Amino acid sequence: MKDVEMKMLERAKQLLESGEVARVIGWKKGEFFYDPTPASFETVDELKDFVYDWFCGANLSKYLIQMSKKEGKTAVFLKPCDTYSFNQLVKEHRIKRENVYVIAVECLAKLNIEAIKEKTDGIVKSVDVEDKDVKVVTTNGEYTLYKPEVVLSKCAVCNKTHQAKDEEIILHERPERDVNRFEEVEKLEAMTEDERFAFWKGQLSKCIRCNACRNVCPACSCVKCVFDNPHSGIAAKANDSEFEEQLFHVIRAFHVAGRCTDCGECSRVCPQHIPLHLLNRKFIKDIDGLYGEFQAGETDEGKTPLTSYTEGDIEPKDVFNGEAK
Amino acid sequence: MTKQERVENMQRLSGTDVRKCMKCGKCSGRCPAFKEMDIKPHQFVSMLERGKIDELLACDAIWNCLSCMACVERCPRGVAPAAVVEAVRDTVVRMQGKNGITAEEIPPIVDEFIPQQLLVSAYRKYNK
Amino acid sequence: MQEVSTEKKEFVPNIVAFCCNWCSYAGADLAGSSRLSYPANVKIIRVPCSCRVNPTFVLKAFQQGADGVILCGCHPGDCHYVTGNYYTRRRMALLFSFLNYMGIEKERTRVEWVSAAEGARFSAVMNDFVKTVTALGENKRLTDLRVKEGE
Amino acid sequence: MQRIGVFICWCGSNISATVDVVKVAEIMKSEPGVVYSANYQYMCSENGQQLIKQAIKEHNLTGIVIGSCSPRMHEATFRKAAEAAGLNPYMVEVANIREHCSWIHKDMDEATEKAVILVRTAIAKVKLNAPLMAGESPVAKRALVIGGGIAGIQAALDIADAGFEVDIVEKNATIGGRMAQLDKTFPTLDCSACILTPKMVDCAQHEKIDILSYSEVEEVKGFVGNFSVKIRRKARFVDETKCTGCKLCMEKCPSKKGLNEFNMGLNTRPAIYIPFAQAIPNVAVIDPTQCIKMKTGKCGICQKFCGVGAIDYEQKDSFIERQYGAIVVATGFKPIELTAFNEYGYEENKDVITSLELERLMNAAGPTGGVLLRPSDNEHPKIITFIQCVGSRDTSGCGKPYCSKICCMYTAKHAMLIREKYPDTQVNVFYIDVRTPGKNYDEFFRRAVEQYGVNYIKGMVGKVYNENGKLMVQGSNLIDNEQVTIESDLVVLAAAIEPEPSVRKVATLLTASIDTNNFLTESHAKLRPVESPTAGVYLAGVCQGPKDIPETVSQASACAAKVIGLLVKDKLKTNPCVATPDENMCNGCSQCANVCAYGAITYVDKEFRLGGGKTEIRRVASVNPAVCQGCGACTVTCPSGAMDLKGFSSKQIMSEVEAICKK
C-alpha cells in the first residue's frame, strides 16, 4: 500500500506543480491513523498530509459536484467502486466531466476499524496488512486477524473494476472473485413476512435521523433534498412522529433505485450500524431479476431501469420476492 | 356426479377451451380419417360444448382417430379437437378400468417399419 | 355489573384508489352509471395518469391509516399519455416488492388496469380488493416502522 | 385566508335518494375555511349556476367545491360559471358524489358518510389550488397527410378545398395506393380506376396541394398547431421537374426483369419505370438494385434517349422541413405474408393466388390484359375455389385475431365478375361466416348466390394439394356434415390485411399509440374515432382498423373536417395543468426528460445567486407548456421533487390522501 501511496503523492505533486490541475482530491491524515478524511489539496505544500492507506474507504466522487464547478481542472483519485458513482453523476449532468482528471487507483479492499476493534482488546495502535493477514498491535498485545473478516461490508462482496479513468496507478493485479452480493438479501427474502418486518423494525428503530446516509450518498446529491422541499408534501418542519420520520428510509431507497451503484457508503457511515445497503440492494436485485442485469454507473450515458420500460414488463401482481410468480 | 360436473370434468380433462371454437370446420376439413369417424372432429368440440357426453362416450370415432393432431395444428382458434377425442377416449378406458397395452408388450411388436407415431398414439389410445 | 359486549365490531378497511382520469376514473363512472356496487370504504382520487402517482402518496396513505392502496390505469399500450402506465408498472412492481421485503403484506397493494369501458371490471376489482384487505385486517405495520419507546 | 363555498347537488333524486344532501351541506358549514354551503336540486341548471355565481360574488369566495356528478360530466360547466362570476376557473373542484357514491351504495347512512368524506377531500384540495391561466400557441396553417391512397387523397382534397395548404407524403413513386390496384369496387361494380384517377388528377392540379411522392417522414418535432416535420425525398434518379412521362426510357431500358410491384409481381418491368399508366406524378423512377448503369457503371441508355435530360444517376436523397398545424395519418394496409399457412400451398403452387393478385389478373391494365388466365400455363381456369378467412380471426398465433372486414364482400364481387364474364366457370367459396353489414351489401352477396349461382360452402379448407397437376382442395361442408375434395384450376386466398408496416415508425415519430395488431389507436372508439390521442394527429383508413372504401372515404372526410376546424383557428388554448419545475431545486439530471413522451422538457443553463455576491450557473429543466400534456410522469421521476404538476400538485394529492385516510 505504501508504494501505491508514494506513486499517488508523486503524481499529485507533478500535476499541481505543472499547473495541469488546480487541485487534487484525495485523503489526508485524520485524528487517528485509522480515520483518514477526504481532502482537497491546492498546493504542493498541503500534500504533506496526503495519505492513502487501508482505511481510505470514503467515496470521493460526490465532492466533484462542487469541485468541478470551480475554476481549473480537478484531479481526483478514484477507487474502482467510486468510478461507478462518478459515472452516474456525469450521466446526471452533476459533474462536469471535462473539468475532472480521474486517476484510477488500486484498491485491495478497505478495512473496517469497528470490526477490528471488536475482535481485539485494548486501544488500537497500528494495523498492517500482509496478504490475508491483518496484524494489529494494541495496548493489550498483538493480534493477527483474517482480512476478509475485517474489511468494510461493501468490500466483502466487491467485484468492481474501474469504469472511468484518464490514467491509472495500479501495481498489483486483483484476483477474480466469485461473490454473491445478494446473499444477505436472499436470506431476508427467505424469511416470513413477520420475520422480515421484525428484522426491519428492529433495525430502523435504531435510526436517529442524523442524515449521515443521505449526506454521504452520491445519489443523494440533490440541490435540495425532497425531504427539505416544502412542495413535495413529505417534508416535515420537525422530525416528530410524522410521515417523513417514519418512512424516511423507504422513500430514500426508492429515490435512489436504479441510480444506486451499490457503493455501500450508507452502511459505512451509519453511526447506528443499520445495514442500509440491504435496502438499496433489494432494488438492485429486483431490477436485475425483473428487467435484466443493470449496473448503475457502468457507463455515463443511457436511461435507468426506472426511466425505461418494455411493453412486456411483468405486472406488479406477478412479482414475488423479486421474481416472477 | 351430476351431468354438469361430468361435462366440466371432461372439459378439464381435455385441457382445451371448447368455447373458443368459431365453427369454421377446418379440423374436419383436414382430418385424414374423416370417413371413418362417426362423429366428426368439429362435432366433438361442439358436442362437448353442449354437454352431449353420453353420445360421445358411445361413439366409435374415438377408436378411429389417428391422433395425428392435424386438427390441432390447423385450428385457427387454438382449440384442440384431438384433445377432446382423447379426453373421451381416456374416460372410456378408465371406465373399463384397465390398460389396453403395457410397456412390456411393446418391444416384441416393434420392427423397423412401425412408425413412432403409431406407438405414441397407441399408448395414448389404450392407456388410462 | 355492566355487561361487556362480546360482539366485535366488524372490521371495515379504508381503501384509497388512485384512478387515472382517462380510463379508470371513467371506468368507475361507468360502474356508477351501471349501478354496479362496491363497498363505500373505497375512495377514489383522480389523477391525470397512473404515472402521476408518487410512491410517497402510497406510503402517505398507509401511514395515515389506509389499509389498502390500489392504483388503476389504462391497460398497457392504451395509455392516454402513450407511455405513462409503463412507468407506473415498473415503479409499482419494484415498490410493492420492496414493501413486501420490509414485511408489509403484498395483498395490501395492487395495480389494476381498467379501461373506460370496464365498469363491471372496476366494480369486480374493488369488491375483490376490499375482500382481500378485509381478510388481512387492519394495517398496523406501515403506520410506523419503528419501535416506540416502552413498546 | 381562503373563503370556500360548497354546493351540494341533488341531481333530482339521483343523489338525494341515497345521500342526505341537506345534512352534507349542513356539515360542510362547519368545515374550516368554508364560509358558504348550499344544496340545490340541479346545480348544473341555469338556476343552479346562478346560485353559484351569486354566492361567489356575495361571499367573495376564493374557491368552490361542487358535490355532484362526475367531473368528467360537468367540471367544464362549473368552471365556466365560476369564470363568469370572476373566479378563476381552476379554483373549482368537483366531488363525485353521484357515480362514485349515490349510484353504487344503497344504505343512506353509509352513502352520506362517504359523500361527506369526498366533499372534504375536495375542500382539502381546493384550498391548495392556484389560479391557472390557459396559455396560447399559434397555428401553422398547413396540413400534412401521410399516405397517398384514397384516404390521404380524400382528406387532402377536402382540406385544400377549404383553402388550406396540404402536403401529401407518399413513400411510393405514385399516389393512388391500394385502390389503384383494384379492378372493380363493391357493391356497385364500378371500375376502381374510373373513380380514383380523377381524384388523383385533382390532387395534382390543386393549387393548394403539394404531392411529395417517393418521400418519407423522417422526424417530427413540436405539437398540435405547430409540428415541425422533416421529410426525406428519396432519390428517384429522375428530375421530377423535367420528366414528361413519355416512357421512352422504359422502352429502351435493357434491364427488364424487375418484378412489377404494381401487378403484385405477376409480370416484369424495366429498371426505369412509371408504376402504372395513370401514375401521379407521371414521372419515372429508377430501381438502383436493377439498373445496369448503377450496378456496373456501364449502360446509360435511358440518359442517352431522354429528350429532356431528366436522368440523373448521381441524385441523392434530399430533405425538406416544413411546419404543419395538423397531421393526418393514412398509411393504409397490405395483405399478410402467407408463410405460416403452408396448408394452402401458396408458395408451392403458382395457381394458388391471393385476392389482390386476382384483382390484377382481372384488370384490363394487368399482366393478362384483363383476360382471366391462370399463372402456371396461361389457361382459362374452369373451376375456381375461393378460401375465406386466410389468417383472419386466427388466435392461434399464425394469423390475425381480427376480422379483415373486406374479404367477404370482395370475394362475392370476384365470384360474380367471373361468373358474369365466363359463365362456364364453376366458382366455389369456402366460408366460415359471410359478413355483409353495409348498405346494399347483403343484397350484393345474395345476388352472387341467387343470380350467379356461386357455390358457397359453409366450412373451412384443411389442405390444398397438387395431384397429377390438379389442385385438390379438401375441406369440410358443415351443413351436410361432409368432407369434400374439389378439383380446382385456380385457388384464391382471401388473405387477412394488416396495417402497412411503416406505420410503426410513423406512430413512434408522432407519439401516436398503436395496438397489438399495429393499428393506430383512436382517442375514443365511439365519440372520437378519427382523432389520435396525440392532439393534432388524425387517423384515416385502414391504419386505424380494417375498413372498405366507402368507410375509408367517410373517415378521411371526417379527418378533414377536424383538421379544418383546427386550422381556421389562429391560436390554440393550451391546457394549463402542465408540469413545472422549481428551478431552485432542479438538479438538471435529465431523469424527467427521459420519461417525457412528448419531448416537452429541455435544459437550460441558468445563473443563480448563492449569497455573498456569488453566483452559480446550473443546468435546469424547462417545460414547454404548449407541448406538455400534463401526465405527471416527470414529477415522480424527479428525485428532488422539483418537478410538480399544476392542478395535480404533490401537495394537493397528499392533502386528498390525508383527508380520506384520517380517521
Q: Closest approach of chain B CAs to the CA of D483, in angstroms?
A: 6
Tell me which of D530, D546, D567 is where a domain ends. Answer: D567
Question: For residue D663, what pLDDT band results from cuts at 50, 70 and 90?
Answer: low
Chain D residue numbers with beta carbons less than 8 Å from the beta carbon of B31 are 462, 483
Chain D residue numbers with beta carbons less than 8 Å from the beta carbon of B34 are 476, 483
Instruction: Please state the rounded mean pLDDT for residues D556-567.
Output: 98
Chain A segment 193-232 residues within 8 A of C by beta carbon are 193-202, 204-205, 207, 232
On whether residue B121 sits in a domain, the answer given is no
pLDDT digit string (tens) for A158-206?
889 999 999 999 888 887 788 899 999 999 999 999 999 999 988 888 8
Sequence-ordered list of residues with C-beta below 8 angstroms from that of A150, at least 6 positions apart, any chain: A111, A112, A115, A116, A119, A134
Minimal Cβ distance to A316: which of C55, C96, C141: C96
Task: Enumerate neighbours of B (3 or more CB pairs within 8 A).
Answer: D
Q: Say what the pLDDT of residue C51 is.
A: 97
Q: Which uninterrupted H or E stretch holds A289? A: helix A277-291
On whether residue B110 sits in a domain, the answer given is no
Q: Say what the pLDDT of residue D509 is.
A: 87
Q: Which domain covers residue B62, as residue numbers?
A: 3-98
Chain A residue numbers with beta carbons less than 8 Å from the beta carbon of C109 are 316
On whether the CB atoms of residues D460 and D442 are closer than 8 A, the answer is no
Q: Do C59 and A207 touch (CB under 8 A)?
A: no
Spatial CA neighbour of D311 closest among D299, D320, D321, D323: D299
Q: Which residues, in sequence order, are bridge partners of residue D9?
A: D40
Question: For residue B113, what pLDDT band results from cuts at 50, 70 and 90?
Answer: confident
Spatial CA neighbour of A116 closest among A76, A82, A144, A154: A144
Whether D342 and D328 map to the same domain: the answer is no
Whether A127 and A246 map to the same domain: the answer is no
Q: Closest approach of chain D CAs to the CA of C82, in angstroms?
A: 6
Whether A103 and A124 map to the same domain: the answer is no
Q: Say what the pLDDT of residue A239 is.
A: 45
Whether A188 and A311 map to the same domain: the answer is yes
d(CA D468, CA D411): 28
Instruction: Please state the rounded mean pLDDT for residues D164-172.
Output: 98
**What mean pLDDT value characterizes chain D?**
95
On whether residue D655 sits in a domain, the answer given is no
On whether the CB atoms of residues D540 and D555 are closer than 8 A, the answer is yes
**Per 3-state DSSP, what percentage of chain B is helix, strand, and coil (rounded to 5)?**
60, 0, 40
Q: Do D663 and C40 touch (CB under 8 A)?
A: no
Q: Which uninterrupted H or E stretch holds D109? A: helix D108-126
Is the pLDDT confidence value at A238 over 60? no
Whole-number percent of chain A with pLDDT over 70:
95
Question: For residue A240, what pLDDT band results from cuts at 50, 70 and 90?
Answer: very low
pLDDT digit string (tens) for D206-227?
999 999 999 999 999 888 899 9
Chain C residue numbers with beta carbons less than 8 Å from the beta carbon of D514 are 77
Amino acid identity at A4: V
On whether residue B20 sits in a domain, the answer given is yes
Instruction: Count Cβ neighbours within 10 Å for each residue of D501-516 and write b for 16 or more, e otherwise.
Output: ebbeebbebbbbbbee
pLDDT digit string (tens) for D398-447?
999 999 999 999 999 999 999 999 999 999 999 999 999 999 999 999 99
> How many CA atoms are closer than 13 Å to the CA of D278, on its beta-carbon side?
19
Which of B16, B24, B45 is most worth mutating to test chain D (most D CB atoms within 10 A of its CB)?
B24
Chain C residue numbers with beta carbons less than 8 Å from the beta carbon of D110 are 40
On whether residue B126 sits in a domain, the answer given is no
Q: Do C40 and D631 touch (CB under 8 A)?
A: no
Instruction: Give the number of other CB atoms < 10 A from CB of residue D527.
Output: 8
Positive or negative torsion for Cα D65, D66, D71, D76: negative
Chain C residue numbers with beta carbons less than 8 Å from the beta carbon of D107 are 40
Question: For residue B93, what pLDDT band results from cuts at 50, 70 and 90?
Answer: confident
Polymer length in residues for chain C: 151
Q: Say what the pLDDT of residue A235 is.
A: 67
Is the pLDDT confidence value at D201 over 70? yes
Is the pLDDT confidence value at A208 over 90? no
Mark whether B and D touch (3+ CB pairs within 8 Å): yes
On whether the CB atoms of residues A181 and A262 are closer than 8 A, the answer is yes
Is the pLDDT confidence value at A322 over 70? no
Q: Which residues, in sequence order, are bridge partners of residue D484?
A: D475
Q: Which domain covers residue D202, as residue numbers?
A: 142-234+317-332+500-567
d(CA D163, CA D71): 38
Q: Which uninterrupted H or E stretch holds A102? A: strand A100-105
d(CA C74, CA D264): 41
Is the pLDDT confidence value at D567 over 90? yes
Chain A residue numbers with beta carbons less than 8 Å from the beta carbon of C86 are 309-311, 313
pLDDT digit string (tens) for C47-82?
999 999 999 999 989 988 899 999 999 988 778 888
Is the pLDDT confidence value at D529 over 70? yes
Interface of D with A (CB under 8 A): 582, 584-591, 594-595, 603, 616-619, 637, 639-642, 644, 649-651, 653-655
Whether A34 and A47 map to the same domain: the answer is yes
B100 or D167, which is more confident: D167
Which CATH number does the domain housing residue B51 bear? 1.10.1060.10
Which of C70, C101, C113 is most worth mutating to test chain A (most A CB atoms within 10 A of its CB)?
C101
Q: Say what the pLDDT of residue D135 is.
A: 85
Minimal Cβ distance to B24: which of D460, D463, D474: D460
Instruction: Give the number of other CB atoms < 10 A from CB of residue D545.
Output: 20
pLDDT digit string (tens) for A262-287?
999 999 999 999 999 999 999 999 99
What is the DSSP-derived secondary structure letter of residue A193? H
Whether D9 and D102 map to the same domain: the answer is yes
Is the pLDDT confidence value at A241 over 70? no
d(CA C106, CA C96): 7
Chain A segment 250-279 residues within 8 A of C by beta carbon are 250-251, 253-254, 257, 279
d(CA A127, CA A143): 10
Q: Do D113 and C40 touch (CB under 8 A)?
A: yes
* Domains of chain B: total: 1
Q: Closest approach of chain D CAs to the CA of C96, in angstroms?
A: 16
Positive or negative torsion for Cα D356, D365, D266, D269: negative
Provide the grid cell at D383.
373451376
Q: Say what the pLDDT of residue D484 is.
A: 96
Instruction: Count Cβ neighbours within 10 Å for each residue of D594-628 and write b for 16 or more, e otherwise.
Output: bbbbbebbebeeeeeeeeeeeeeebbbbebbbbbb
Whole-number percent of chain D with pLDDT over 90:
90
d(CA D411, CA D401): 20
Tell me if chain C has a CB within 8 Å of the CB of D591: no
Q: Cα separations (Å) of D500 from D17, D145, D147, D328, D333?
A: 54, 15, 10, 15, 4
On whether residue B21 sits in a domain, the answer given is yes
Positive or negative torsion for Cα D27, D31, D36, D42: negative
Provide the grid cell at D208.
393548394
Q: Say what the pLDDT of residue A242 is.
A: 54
Q: Say what the pLDDT of residue C1 is.
A: 44
Instruction: Please state the rounded mean pLDDT for residues A45-49.
Output: 93
> How many CA atoms are closer than 13 Å to the CA of A115, on its beta-carbon side?
16
Q: Do D483 and B75 touch (CB under 8 A)?
A: no
Task: Enumerate neighbours of C (3 or more CB pairs within 8 A).
Answer: A, D
pLDDT digit string (tens) for A107-166?
989 999 999 999 999 899 999 998 889 999 999 999 999 999 999 988 988 889 999 999
Spatial CA neighbour of D597 closest among C48, B117, C69: C48
Which of A255, A307, A309, A311 is most worth mutating to test chain D (most D CB atoms within 10 A of its CB)?
A307
Q: Say what the pLDDT of residue C144 is.
A: 64
Instruction: Please state the rounded mean pLDDT for residues D552-577.
Output: 96
Instruction: Please state the rounded mean pLDDT for residues D65-76.
Output: 94
* Domains of chain D: total: 5
pLDDT digit string (tens) for C75-89?
887 788 888 999 999
Tell me if chain D has a CB within 8 Å of the CB of A273: no
Chain B residue numbers with beta carbons less than 8 Å from the beta carbon of D394 are 76-77
Q: Which domain covers residue A80, as residue numbers?
A: 2-109+157-169
Block residue for cell numbers 428487467: A291
Spatial CA neighbour of D227 closest among D509, D424, D497: D509
Minimal Cβ distance to D651: which of A221, A233, A255: A233
On whether residue B40 sits in a domain, the answer given is yes
Block residue for cell numbers 395495480: C111
Q: Do D105 and C37 touch (CB under 8 A)?
A: yes
Whole-number percent of chain D with pLDDT over 70:
100
Backbone angles phi, psi at D620, to 5 degrees: -135, 155
d(CA D9, CA D14): 9
d(CA C33, CA C35): 5
Q: Which uninterrupted H or E stretch holds D320? A: strand D318-324
On whether residue A177 sits in a domain, the answer given is no
Task: Enumerate neighbours of D (3 or more CB pairs within 8 A).
Answer: A, B, C
Q: Closest approach of chain C CAs to the CA of A81, in angstroms?
A: 25
Question: For residue C8, what pLDDT band results from cuts at 50, 70 and 90?
Answer: low
Whole-number percent of chain C with pLDDT over 70:
89
Q: Do D640 and A233 touch (CB under 8 A)?
A: no
On whether the CB atoms of residues A9 and A50 are closer than 8 A, the answer is yes
Q: Say what the pLDDT of residue D603 is.
A: 95
Give the rounded distance of the alpha carbon of A117 from its chain centre.
22
Query: Is residue C72 helix, strand or coil?
Result: strand
Lowest-confidence segment of A17-21, A171-175, A287-291 by average pLDDT: A171-175
Block residue for cell numbers 466483502: A156
For chains A and D, count residue pairs whose Cβ atoms are closer than 8 Å.
72
On whether residue B22 sits in a domain, the answer given is yes
Is the pLDDT confidence value at D524 over 90? no
Tell me which of D567, D591, D611 is where a domain ends. Answer: D567
Which of A185, A188, A243 is most worth mutating to test chain C (most C CB atoms within 10 A of its CB)?
A243
Q: Does domain C15-136 have CATH number 3.40.50.300?
A: no
Q: Do D459 and B24 touch (CB under 8 A)?
A: yes
Backbone angles phi, psi at C117, to 5 degrees: -95, -5
> How many CA atoms are closer than 13 Å to the CA of A23, on its beta-carbon side?
19
Whether D204 and D268 map to the same domain: the answer is no
Interface of D with B (CB under 8 A): 343, 389, 393-399, 430, 432, 458-463, 474-478, 481, 483
Whether D533 and D560 map to the same domain: the answer is yes
On whether the CB atoms of residues C43 and D121 are closer than 8 A, the answer is yes
Query: Is residue C10 helix, strand or coil?
Result: coil
Which CATH number does the domain housing residue D174 bear? 3.50.50.60
Instruction: Please state the rounded mean pLDDT for residues B62-84.
Output: 92
Is the pLDDT confidence value at B118 over 90? no
Q: Say what the pLDDT of residue B105 is.
A: 75
Provide the grid cell at C121.
371490471
Which of D580, D585, D604 is most worth mutating to test chain A (most A CB atoms within 10 A of its CB)?
D585
Is the pLDDT confidence value at A105 over 90? yes
On whether residue B54 sits in a domain, the answer given is yes
Question: For residue A245, what pLDDT band results from cuts at 50, 70 and 90?
Answer: low
Q: Say what the pLDDT of residue C140 is.
A: 83
User: Taking CA D573 as the corner, what is the angle to CA D572 and CA D574, rounded to the nearest 5 degrees?
Assistant: 110
Which of B21, B28, B34, B69 is most worth mutating to test chain D (most D CB atoms within 10 A of its CB)?
B28
Whole-number percent of chain A with pLDDT over 90:
71
Q: Closest approach of chain B CAs to the CA of D352, in angstroms?
A: 18
